[in-house]
Amino acid sequence: MASYIAVVEPANNELPDAEGYLVSDLQEGEHNISAELSEKVIAGKTDYEYTSVAEEFTFTTGRIPGDKGQEQFKKAIKARQQVRVWLIEKKKQNGVYPAIFGYAVVEELGNSFDDEEDTIEVTLKVKFNTAEGGFESLPQSWLDPSVAGTTVEYEEPGAYKGSLENREAVSGSGA
């Protein structure tokens, strides 16, 4: 079970309530910070200086057709659009779920498959830098995706009418 979740939001977000999409079935991921260095030889010894710093995210997910989070990466690279990305720890620390946020461009999107697995691998290059923050609360469906499914709760006979998906409380039943 992954100890992180990834959320992606289109930079030109038109989603209701400015929400982001959970990237389903996150199996592996990385947040890398790397530096370009310049070399100087001084008295026969090599000295190094920083010239620039770059960051990137890489994610591997199980391919789920129709997953809105996974689709955002493909839409972004094809339309040459930026995305907002959050990498969130699923365990609270000091009352918050620690998160790393950044604006990114999709450098590479690949679909890898064999007779046992069908995965998507994505590399995101961060624009300038990431920022650290946190969430006081997260939707339970993000922390445990199994709760996003339908759950049948106990009801008294005659309390509702209609199918599970379209049930209505019967007036006077107290439901």
Give residue-wise pLDDT tens across range 3-23.
999 999 888 876 665 556 888
Tens digit of pLDDT for each residue in 117-129?
Answer: 899 999 999 999 9
Please provide the average confidence, as pLDDT, over all residues in the chain.
87
- CATH number of the domain at 73, please: 2.30.110
- Count structural domains, the chain: 1
In a domain, 158, yes or no: no
pLDDT at 2 over 60: yes
Domain assignment present for residue 117? The answer is yes
Residue 151 clears pLDDT 80, i.e. is over it: no
Q: How far from the centroid of its chain's Cα atoms is residue 163's Cα?
A: 34
Please indicate, yes or no, if residue 112 is contained in any of the structural domains.
Answer: yes
Tell whether 155 is covered by a domain.
no
Tell me: pLDDT of 31 over 90: yes
Question: What is the residue range of 10's domain?
Answer: 4-143
Decide if pLDDT at 91 tops 90.
Answer: yes
Residue 141 clears pLDDT 80, i.e. is over it: no
Rounded-to-integer distance, Cα 83 and Cα 143, Å? 22
CA-atom Rg of the chain in angstroms:
22
Q: Model pTM greater than 0.85?
A: no
Q: State the pLDDT confidence band at 84, using cuts at 50, 70 and 90.
A: very high
d(CA 85, CA 23): 10
The two tokens of residue 16 are 């209701």
Whether 168 maps to a domain, the answer reads: no
* Closest listed residue to residue 57, CA positions, set 116, 102, 94: 102
Residue 133 lies in a domain: yes
At 156 the pLDDT is: 79
Residue 166 lies in a domain: no
165 in a structural domain: no
Phi and psi dihedrals of 71, rounded to 5? -65, -30
- Among 21-25, 41-45, 61-65, 155-159, the range with the most confident prediction by mean pLDDT is 41-45
